């Protein structure tokens, strides 16, 4: 896996382009936001997240889908349970993942952040493969965008408290940060 800073696309991962993006107002990339998602909730490897981010989700397939039928959202990346990474939007563009959000007093985090969705839920443990893929992808992002320091990696719940809870209590921040620190020291 290699992130090309000139294009914002990561070579060596699956690409599944989403129409749900637009231009970054200042071109800045300085924040990484970790999320979780599963469609239907708590069901994995369904392919429905990809369909959702491409506006192709058949809302008649599951009752939950009716409530999200009109949403137009995306993330830059999805990491599935087996560690497979899919990219939907160039890191140089603004994916629609954070919604109403504030980081360090600055609103509209989509303007300056990269969003990574982990296939999962708030309360189910994430897999070893996901932590490995997330660590490797984070290192690629930090190399391409040095403003994404350890202090500028957060959860969706950190930038939208009270509105969002992901990645949730099952996400092991200590494990993730220790893996990043270990890789940094090598």
Q: Among all residues, which ones are annotated catalytic? A: 117
CA distance 80 to 138: 15
Closest CA to 166 of 73, 61, 85: 73
CB 109 within 8 A of CB 159: yes
CA distance 12 to 83: 13
CA distance 12 to 14: 7
Asked whether the bond before 40 is cis by omega within 30 degrees of 0, the reply is yes
Please state at what angle helix 128-144 crosses helix 173-185, rounded to 10 degrees.
Answer: 50
> Which pairing describes strands 10-11 and 2-3: parallel, antiparallel, or unpaired?
antiparallel
Quote the tokens at residue 148: 């994404």
């Amino acid at each position: 896996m290699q992130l090309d800073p000139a294009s914002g696309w990561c070579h060596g991962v699956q690409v599944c382009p989403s129409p749900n993006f637009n231009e970054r107002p200042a071109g800045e990339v300085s924040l990484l936001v970790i999320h979780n998602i599963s469609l239907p909730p708590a069901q994995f490897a369904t392919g429905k997240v990809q369909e959702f981010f491409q506006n192709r989700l058949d809302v008649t397939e599951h009752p939950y889908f009716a409530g999200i039928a009109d949403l137009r959202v995306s993330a830059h990346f999805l990491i599935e349970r087996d560690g497979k990474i899919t990219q939907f939007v160039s890191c140089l563009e603004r994916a629609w993942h954070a919604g109403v959000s504030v980081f360090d007093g600055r609103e509209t985090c989509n303007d300056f952040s990269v969003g990574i969705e982990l296939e999962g839920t708030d309360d189910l443990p994430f897999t070893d493969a996901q932590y490995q893929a997330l660590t490797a992808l984070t290192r690629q992002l930090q190399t391409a965008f040095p403003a994404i320091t350890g202090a500028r990696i957060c959860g969706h719940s950190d930038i939208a408290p009270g509105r969002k809870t992901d990645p949730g209590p099952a996400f092991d921040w200590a494990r993730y940060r220790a893996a990043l620190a270990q890789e940094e020291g090598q």
